[in-house]
Amino acid sequence: MSGVNEIRSAFLDYFAREGHEKVASSPLVPRNDPTLMFTNAGMVQFKNVFTGLEKRDYQRAVTSQKCVRAGGKHNDLDNVGYTARHHTFFEMLGNFSFGDYFKERAIELAWNLITREYAIPADRLLVTVYSEDEEAAVLWRKIAGLSDDRIIRIATSDNFWSMGETGPCGPCSEIFYDHGEGIPGGPPGSPDEDGDRFIEIWNLVFMQYEQLSASERVDLPRPSIDTGMGLERIAAVLQGVHDNYDIDLFRALIASVESAVGSRAEGDAVASHRVIADHIRATAFLIADGVLPSNEGRGYVLRRIMRRAMRHAKLLGAREPVLYKILPTLVAEMGRAYPELVRAEALISETLQLEEKRFLQTLDRGLSLLADATEGMNAGERLSGDTAFKLYDTYGFPLDLTQDALRPRGIAVDLDAFNTAMERQKAEARASWVGSGESSSENIWFPVRDRVGATEFLGYDTERAEGAV
């Protein structure tokens, strides 16, 4: 059984032997790309190479890319703690061909890696292809010897990738691992495909067309390859566990959460331990890449992640700042692969403590307000928008934190009323603002930032790099 660090190295070394340049992960804050909130796939740093705007002195590359999917179009925040396979921060392993090899070689390289190097039994694997990509189906049969029932044709955009309305695009093919009967979930393309039995481990994108306009698409003269495999997901397979949160790295982090908080990861507490372990990683890597908690934009996404983790720590019994105590374990586990973590450790630790101290002042009171407001409520009922707004405005509860707190009880928030309260407050603040003290400026800020949250956040991480890899 190999650990995450060895699995990452094995991937990079394998593709390096196959003539790929090892390229470092780019930062989580994309350079020169205001359309994207966070780097969410390996191809992000190569966008301009794929479109031909930029030239590199290599035609094949391999990376392990830091990714965050917690804002914008790709938002897995609400999956964390609920699925076996999603994180807010994760590493995407990828090999890329810039007009060099194409479909056949890409499939061969992927298949050889997983069945030979990683020695995954072929009978646990199945693949999807785009319904119109007969060529890919034929290649899978030829190269992998997969029977037709293991080559699933998908007609939706899940299996067709595009960079935007125009630009490179093409079909993709995803490799799934069957974790076995007994785990709920059906194969890709079936009605219960969102279960966790068949887990997507690798996505291969065949960029073979260029979309010139809504109606015109031409063949690319030199098609390209873009792939992405979740390191934590392949590690789960190789370590013989079903759940990403049971791999070596997460076991270490969760053990550290246990000792920091003084609560065992058992029974109902498991989800909170997982959320904290996940969110501490996202927090640390975002701060290391220059994001600091704030009330707008990227900083507000970070603050939301941090505060969600803090509420879960509180649930587990924490009474004082504890998250910073987990940091040394993270640095020990990942600092060699990502030295920026080591360099930023002091800053991350300090930021965690400050943010936690600050939020703890209102967290308790906010939680008791929430408890009072929902006393006797049943699943299917809704929390009033005014209460959600008060929690937000007075106690610093981001809306999604309140929603996260109520989700296990099946209670939703009255969003229309919440937005109305926000608008009203904003109008009042505008009318009465005379440049007085701190709290009134906070009152102005909060609505503004949430408007940004409601509008820009969704638009931010637009179609570009969508579909990801």
DSSP track, 10-77? HHHHHHHHTTPEE-PPPPSS-TT-TT-SS--SGGGGGHHHHHTSS--S-SEEEEEEEEE-BSSSSB-G
Q: What is the number of the residue whose Cβ is closest to ligand ATP?
A: 230
Name which position in 95, 203, 227, 387 contacts Mg ion (CB under 5 A).
203
Backbone angles phi, psi at 93, to 5 degrees: -85, 135
In Å, the largest CA–CA distance within the chain is: 74
Question: Quick one: 278 or 355, whose CB is closer to ligand ATP?
Answer: 278
How many residues are there in the chain? Answer: 469
**Burial of residue 268, with CB atoms counted within 10 A of its CB: 0-12 exposed, 13-18 middle, 19 or more buried:** exposed
Span 89-128, contacts to ligand ATP by CB under 6 A = 90, 92
Kindly report the CA angle at 75 between 74 and 80, in degrees rounded to 5? 135
414: Cα separation from own chain's centroid = 27
Q: How far is the CB of 428 from Mg ion (least distance, A)?
A: 40
**Which partner, Mg ion, ligand ATP, none, binds residue 201 by CB below 5 to 8 Å per kind?**
ligand ATP
Strand 382-383 relative to strand 412-413: parallel, antiparallel, unpaired? parallel
Span 49-78, contacts to ligand ATP by CB under 6 A = 69, 76
Span 233-252, contacts to ligand ATP by CB under 6 A = 233
**Which partner, Mg ion, ligand ATP, none, binds residue 278 by CB below 5 to 8 Å per kind?**
none
**Which partner, Mg ion, ligand ATP, none, binds residue 85 by CB below 5 to 8 Å per kind?**
ligand ATP
Q: How far is the CB of 194 from ligand ATP (least distance, A)?
A: 8
Say if residues 98 and 60 touch (Cβ distance below 8 Å): yes
Q: Which stretch binds ligand ATP (CB under 6 A): 126-134, 227-235, 265-273, 457-465?
A: 227-235
Beta bridge partners of 171: 160
Q: How far is the CB of 158 from Mg ion (least distance, A)?
A: 6
H or E element at residue 288? helix 270-288
CA 432 to CA 440: how far, in whole Å? 9
Q: Which stretch binds Mg ion (CB under 5 A): 93-101, 197-205, 267-275, 285-293?
A: 197-205
Q: How far is the CB of 13 from ligand ATP (least distance, A)?
A: 20
203 touching ligand ATP, by CB under 6 A: yes
87 touching ligand ATP, by CB under 6 A: yes
Q: Which stretch binds Mg ion (CB under 5 A): 47-55, 142-150, 193-201, 367-375?
A: 193-201
228 touching ligand ATP, by CB under 6 A: yes
CA 198 to CA 186: how far, in whole Å? 7
Span 274-333, contacts to ligand ATP by CB under 6 A = none
Structure tokens at 37: 């909130």
Say if residues 198 and 177 touch (Cβ distance below 8 Å): yes
Q: Which stretch binds Mg ion (CB under 5 A): 46-54, 194-202, 388-396, 452-460?
A: 194-202
200 touching ligand ATP, by CB under 6 A: yes
Q: What is the binding site for Mg ion (CB under 5 A)?
A: 200, 203
Q: What is the binding site for ligand ATP (CB under 6 A)?
A: 69, 76, 85-87, 90, 92, 200-203, 228-230, 232-233, 467-469
